């Protein structure tokens, strides 16, 4: 199976890059499932229903969120009816929405997508390890799901790596989000799970984490309150990870970084480009 995960969409440049490029990439790479983190899609803070539907309409099969899940208050309502929009599974019981969903692909296979949030240097949610165990017990790889993608929205790379090793052999891909900076450690772990500490962002990299440079620098220099942070408005870059799984096991066979757009060196999955 061919899987693509793209990192946090930041503002209009990220949305534009995804909406304009994803349909062509689905066809070019014959993708079975595409998952995108969309928690910064609406002006850098949260997601609206209109944006959610635009991203799904462009070819995303599921959208994951994180610590900005409910920055747009309307998300408290529409997340209940949109089963392909996921907030972290380790939010407390009673939080609107869901933390996992089972996607039926065009080829007839099924992909379980799970979102969790880390607890180091983040809001203290419930235990992500226990939440992952619950979701995988209900829908195990190889018996119910043909592939499993886990988005770990976390600050600390140590926590992301620990979750990666904890799930090794039980899921197809563990990928980190939140820091908006793509890491170079994509690999297949000993048990067959593809791993990447952070997918980076879909947004303008001539920025500070996708936001306009001037206000970001001013805050560091002056240490005083200022206007609301706004996304940078230059051309957006797609950043993420491509994984090909073994249909017999659901584990990873090939993995590659994906970077398409200005400022970063381009990277594509050569095993699909032959």
Identified catalytic residue from 68, 153, 180, 186: 68
Judge whether 68 counts as a catalytic residue: yes
Rounded to the nearest angstrom, the gap between the alpha carbon of residue 53 and the centroid of all alpha carbons in its chain is 16
Task: Give the integer Cα–Cα distance in Å for 42 and 14.
Answer: 10
Q: Would you state the torsion angle of the CA atoms of residues 153, 155, 157, 158, taken in this order, to the nearest 10 degrees?
A: -100
Compute how many other C-beta atoms are within 10 angstroms of the C-beta atom of residue 118: 26
What are 117's strand-pairing partners?
153
Distance set, CA 9 to CA 105, 113, 209, 252 (Å): 23, 18, 11, 25
Q: Is 198 left (phi over 0), alpha (psi -120 to 50) or beta?
A: beta
Residues taking part in catalysis: 68
């Amino acid at each position: 199976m061919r899987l693509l995960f793209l990192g946090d969409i930041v503002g209009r440049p990220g949305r534009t890059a995804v909406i304009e490029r994803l349909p062509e990439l689905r066809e070019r790479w014959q993708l079975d499932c595409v998952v995108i983190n969309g928690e910064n899609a609406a002006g850098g803070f949260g997601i609206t229903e209109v944006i959610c539907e635009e991203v799904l309409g462009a070819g995303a099969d599921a959208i994951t969120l994180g610590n900005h899940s409910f920055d747009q208050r309307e998300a408290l309502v529409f997340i209940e009816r949109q089963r392909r929009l996921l907030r972290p599974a380790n939010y407390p019981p009673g939080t609107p929405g869901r933390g996992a969903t089972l996607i039926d692909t065009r080829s007839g296979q099924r992909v379980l997508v799970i979102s969790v949030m880390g607890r180091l240097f983040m809001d203290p949610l419930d235990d992500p390890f226990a939440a992952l165990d619950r979701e995988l017990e209900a829908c195990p790889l190889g018996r119910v799901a043909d592939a499993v993608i886990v988005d770990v929205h976390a600050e600390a790379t140590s926590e992301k790596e620990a979750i990666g090793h904890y799930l090794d052999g039980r899921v197809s891909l563990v990928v980190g989000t939140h820091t908006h900076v793509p890491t170079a450690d994509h690999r297949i772990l000993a048990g067959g799970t593809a791993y990447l500490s952070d997918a980076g962002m879909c947004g303008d990299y001539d920025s500070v984490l996708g936001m306009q440079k001037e206000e970001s620098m001013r805050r560091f220099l002056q240490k005083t309150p200022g206007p609301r942070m706004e996304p940078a408005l230059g051309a957006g870059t797609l950043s993420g990870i491509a994984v090909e799984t073994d249909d017999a096991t659901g584990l990873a066979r090939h993995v590659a970084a994906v970077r398409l757009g200005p400022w970063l060196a381009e990277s594509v999955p050569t095993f699909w480009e032959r």
